[in-house]
Amino acid sequence: MKAYFYQMRYVCTLLLLALIACNNNTIEEKINQSKVIDALQAQLKQYPDSAGLLLQLAMTFDSIGAPEKALPLMQQMIAKDSSNFGLWYAKGQIEEHAGDTVKALASYTAAARIYPSADALLSIANLYAEQRNNRALLAVNEVAKMKLGREYDAHCHFIAGVFYARTKDTKQALEQFDACVANNYTYMEAYIEKGLVFFDQQQYKQALAVFSFAATINNRYADAYYYMARCHEMMQQKDSALLRFEQALQLDPTLKEATAAIERLR
């Protein structure tokens, strides 16, 4: 019963995170977010002990890139309910968004000690993989043993692939990324990481083939076009590179790397 209670609180937290994450920070949305913050702060004056309001305010601050305002609220809630899995997990996400992977890892670990969910273990594994720490594989294996289905199998293979890519084990990395998309053929990050394995080895034609295939899976995925452009650039194909950079920028106007590349090539 206790594990189920924490899991349900965790699910509610993730739903809230997902709703807030949909914001794209346009001018109109920034105005709306500001109104939301004002409304939440006004409600908190009436109900200062409302964990739901505090969490929503913290997540809203996180969504606008203000972790310095979000984290004190998370700490305030954790001080009152230190055994709440969802609070620790949400705190870890905010810290990760802020680029503080050390604190994020500590928060995710605290969450996993309370309730070792697959999501907490995968969050830990993901950070370890980027650090080239083989604890990533241990965490991934724990999730794989849960047999939660193809979606989680795909996550496990992807994170293992990232670990092997970062540790320059090309064969294992490619095998893991292939296994990832075999479980979920729309797992776009896996195609990008696979292409980057070839790109980093200066095998630009192979990399281009992977990125081009990714664009056929999802023709709205800006990163696929951006990395196609990078391959064309490295192969001295300026016109093709410019075309793909422009396509990437149309799909994602916030892609500063594409803007810089277009200015560089013109």
Same domain, 109 and 214: no
Residue 144 lies in a domain: no
Domains identified in the chain, total number: 2
The rounded percent of the chain whose pLDDT value lies above 90 is: 84
For residues 63 and 23, give the distance between their C-alpha atoms in angstroms, rounded to a whole number.
7
Average pLDDT value for residue range 212-219: 98
CATH code of the domain containing 252: 1.25.40.10
Average pLDDT value for residue range 217-236: 98
Work out the pLDDT band at 130, boundaries 50, 70, 90.
very high
Query: What is the radius of gyration, based on Cα positions, of the chain?
Result: 21
User: Among the three residues 115, 140, 165, which one is the final residue of a domain in this structure?
Assistant: 115
Cβ neighbours of 82 (radius 10 Å): 11
User: Among the three residues 71, 94, 115, which one is the final residue of a domain in this structure?
Assistant: 115
Same domain, 111 and 206: no
Amino acid at 146: M
Range of the domain at 241: 202-266
Work out the pLDDT band at 18, boundaries 50, 70, 90.
very low
Same domain, 107 and 206: no
For residues 236 and 63, give the distance between their C-alpha atoms in angstroms, rounded to a whole number.
39
Question: Which strand (E) or helix (H) includes residue 6?
Answer: helix 2-21
DSSP code of residue 201: T
CB 232 within 8 A of CB 208: yes
Residue 65 lies in a domain: yes
Amino acid 6: pLDDT: 37
Residue 177 lies in a domain: no
User: Among the three residues 62, 96, 115, which one is the final residue of a domain in this structure?
Assistant: 115
Amino acid 169: pLDDT: 98
DSSP code of residue 132: T
Residue 167 lies in a domain: no
Same domain, 108 and 212: no
Residue 248 lies in a domain: yes
Amino acid 35: pLDDT: 87
Name the pTM for this structure: 0.85
